Structure 1
Amino acid sequence: MTNLFSIFEPTSSIFSISTNWLSTLLGLVFLPYIYWTSPSRWSLLWSKIIKTLHNEFKTLLHISHMGTSTLFISIFSLIIFNNFLGLLPYVFTSSSHLVMTLSLSLPFWITLMIFGWFTHTNHMLAHLVPQGTPPMLMPFMVLIETISNIIRPGTLSVRLAANMIAGHLLLTLLGNTGPSLSLSILSILIISQILLLILESAVAIIQSYVFAILSTLYMSEIN
């Protein structure tokens, strides 16, 4: 088990300083040239994605200004670049570690809680009891809503990390069996690996979208 999970450990270092986490910034390499080169298919596609996300986020947040949804579009961009780069060989997948995912979800959740309780105290208290709850069930509903609110940053981070780890482990386990297989079975393994890679690409998009959209929903409850 130690060898199996060692693929997720940062091992590359310079002067005893871990350099694997620098892979988190690799996504920035793909962005700058969009703004100083002539429009390409890639830049047009990325602009279309950003506009689509903004239209969806502003519907949930009840806003019209582009700047308000920039935070969630940036989170989506960071996660999707890290997820896709993690599918490349010898690239460290930082989004599969709770250190990174908790670093994204926990400060965001704490900020929302501080802002909500100081500026919308009555709304936050009313949110603990759903409308139409019988008086006898109100204490239990307050307890349940409080627990569900507290575990939100954990569920956000664990969902992203667990989905990325599961796919990478499956690809690693199947890939390690390749040298011991016959040629006929090896061809089946290669096809299955390609299909799993396509599935992992879809998971990379879905999980980044889920993280961003749930963060948007949590913020919309405060407004």
Structure 2
Amino acid sequence: MSLLPGGVSVSHLRVYDWPAPDGVGRAGSGSPHLHTASAEAYVLLGGTGAVHTLGPDGFVEHRLAAGDVVRFDPGVVHRAVNDGDLEVLVVMGNAGLPEAGDAVLTFPPDVLADPAAYRAAALLPGPGASDDELAAAARRRRDLALEGYAELLDDVRRLGPAQALRPLHEAAARLVRPYVPHWQDRWTRTVLHETDGTARALEGLVRGAAGHLASARVREARPDPAPRRYGMCGRLQTWPLG
């Protein structure tokens, strides 16, 4: 299956029901993080909860009702808050980049400043790890992100969002920089390729040409049969990207 229309990816998220150290969320919460190049949207499917964001407007709580959509641009810190059985359809721009590392967790500044320490804190155990081991590592990662998030939230309230978020944004850029050439290649072969195809189709249609319609295809995909993986904010069911 090729990329979904518009070069997006989707996943079905069940937000973690682990109680958060700061007591936010009656049922728990996800890990606060931001994306460096890709926009993201949550479509609420069921349950109750909210998304907490830190961005140009400071701290904002976005309460969610069935069918609501909340979008975050790159750079906005977001945290899913679970008040009970919160399930979300996650729509990600630039399908493939988020999966390739376009997310930075709000770890404490000393961890963000050390790429090796960041990788050690962010990566989950590899093949062969039990589900209990994966869950424990994901929970430790979430709690460390919440530790840094608490400091960041205090700075946003004390200094204002622009000044408080700047060090995080700069640290995020440093952390992902080694991966950007790979991202550029992937984006060119996928999202840009699709965008260019639309541009060519429009150029043809304005001349009355419809040759591209003859090569139309139908594609389908099934959810990944593997157990739901441990994502930033919860357990994820995914579909193949390509």
Task: Check whether TM > 0.5.
Answer: no
TM-score by length of 1: 0.26
Give the structure with the higher percent strand. Answer: 2
TM-score by length of 2: 0.25
Give the structure with the higher percent helix. Answer: 1
Higher Rg of the two aligned structures:
1
